[in-house]
Amino acid sequence: MDFVTIGNPNNAADTTGNPNPVGSVGYIYNIGKYEVSRDMILKSSTAGGLGLTLADMTSYGGNGVNRPATGISWNEAARFVNYLNTSKGYHAAYNFTTSGANDYITLWGTGQYSGSNQYRHKDAHYFLPSRDEWYKAAYGSPNGTWNNYPTGSDSAPWAVASGTAANTAVYGGQGGPADITSAGGLSPYGTMAQGGNVGEVLETAYDGINDLVGEGVEWRGGGWNTNMVFFATDIFGQDSSRMYQYPGDEWAGIGFRVASVPEPSSLSLLALGGVLVALRRRR
């Protein structure tokens, strides 16, 4: 699983044309460069005994191992993330007290979570991206500016069936999603397919407050069979780019990506980069 580092901590939220300012993150973090693939789910489910199942995509281009994992509910995505943590000795991100693959979580108790996010354990290394974390990686940039589309542009990307050309995305009625590494141009931070290919479920409840088990959660990013409205910022109207589902829903057009705490080496390099920029400015 490849990650990119999202720097520029404590950035201002995106308020331009957006009824609900979003995208401010007070820390450096990593996010998956690509969506989670079917192969990642199959291997982890076998190794970890997770019992996860995938949507049959025979009618949408096939079930190739490098296609995005779809038909995975929020609950199942959370179990996959927990396996990533516990298989490497980290603390589980989400509090499951039952073993069913699509069972719901239990909220963490006082002292186990940070801020008001009762879904995510404070010591987790891997987690589902929050609304702000996902939005910043998609529409933000290292220099602090915002774009209307997650390809680093204010103009709609070209619709393609697959490929990696700049300002392209898999959307607009394609026959199905592309492989996760051939699903359009990159965002300024280096992520692929945060617009198009498949929608991506987020950690955040639709009302923005992670304090109730079983409430609707948010997904963003559109898909191969949607139009650009689904993955633009809210330039087309209030909440036009965010959708709603329940944690147990399994949809063939919805997948996810993983976020994580950056490795110490990444933090050191970012700090060094900041020093060099400061020195150049002095000169």
Q: Tell me the CATH number at 12.
A: 3.90.1580.10
Look at residues 189, 204, 80 and name the one whose alpha carbon lies nearest to residue 130: 204
| % of the chain with per-residue pLDDT over 90 | 85
**What's the rounded mean pLDDT across residues 115-131?**
97
**What's the rounded mean pLDDT across residues 134-145?**
96
pLDDT digits (tens, 9 = 90+) for 14-43: 987 666 789 999 999 999 999 999 999 999
Q: What is the pLDDT of residue 240?
A: 65
pTM: 0.93
Q: What is the pLDDT of residue 200?
A: 97
In total, how many domains does the chain have?
1
Minimum mean pLDDT among 161-165, 200-204, 211-215, 265-269: which range?
265-269
| % of the chain with per-residue pLDDT over 70 | 90
Whether 237 and 253 have beta carbons less than 8 Å apart is answered as no
Minimum mean pLDDT among 5-19, 150-164, 251-265, 266-280: which range?
266-280
Q: How far is CA 221 from CA 90, 146, 150, 247, 256, in A?
A: 29, 16, 9, 17, 10
- Bridge partners (DSSP) of residue 38 are none
Strands of the 254-255 sheet, one edge to the other: 242-245, 217-220, 199-205, 254-255
What is the Cα–Cα distance from 181 to 127, expressed in whole angstroms?
Answer: 21
Look at residues 125, 137, 148 and name the one whose alpha carbon lies nearest to residue 235: 148
- Asked if the model's pLDDT at residue 276 lies above 80, the reply is no
Rounded to the nearest 5°, which phi and psi values hold at 234?
-80, 35
Rounded to the nearest 5°, which phi and psi values hold at 93?
-80, -35
Name the 3-class secondary structure at 42: helix
Lookup result for tokens 């970890």: 48
Tokens of 276: 């060099």
pLDDT digits (tens, 9 = 90+) for 240-272: 678 999 999 999 999 999 999 998 755 555 554
Name the 3-class secondary structure at 138: helix
Which segments of the chain are extended strands (E)?
A: 3-6, 29-32, 126-127, 158-159, 168-169, 199-205, 217-220, 242-245, 254-255, 259-260
- Band (pLDDT 50/70/90 cuts) for residue 164 is very high
Q: How far is CA 225 from CA 83, 87, 159, 180, 228, in A?
A: 31, 35, 11, 16, 10
- Bridge partners (DSSP) of residue 259 are 31, 127
Lookup result for tokens 């609707």: 216
Q: What is the pLDDT of residue 20?
A: 77
Q: What is the pLDDT of residue 272?
A: 46
Range of the domain at 274: 1-283
- Asked if the model's pLDDT at residue 91 lies above 50, the reply is yes
Q: Which residue would you say has higher pLDDT here, 18 or 114? A: 114
Q: What is the pLDDT of residue 267?
A: 54
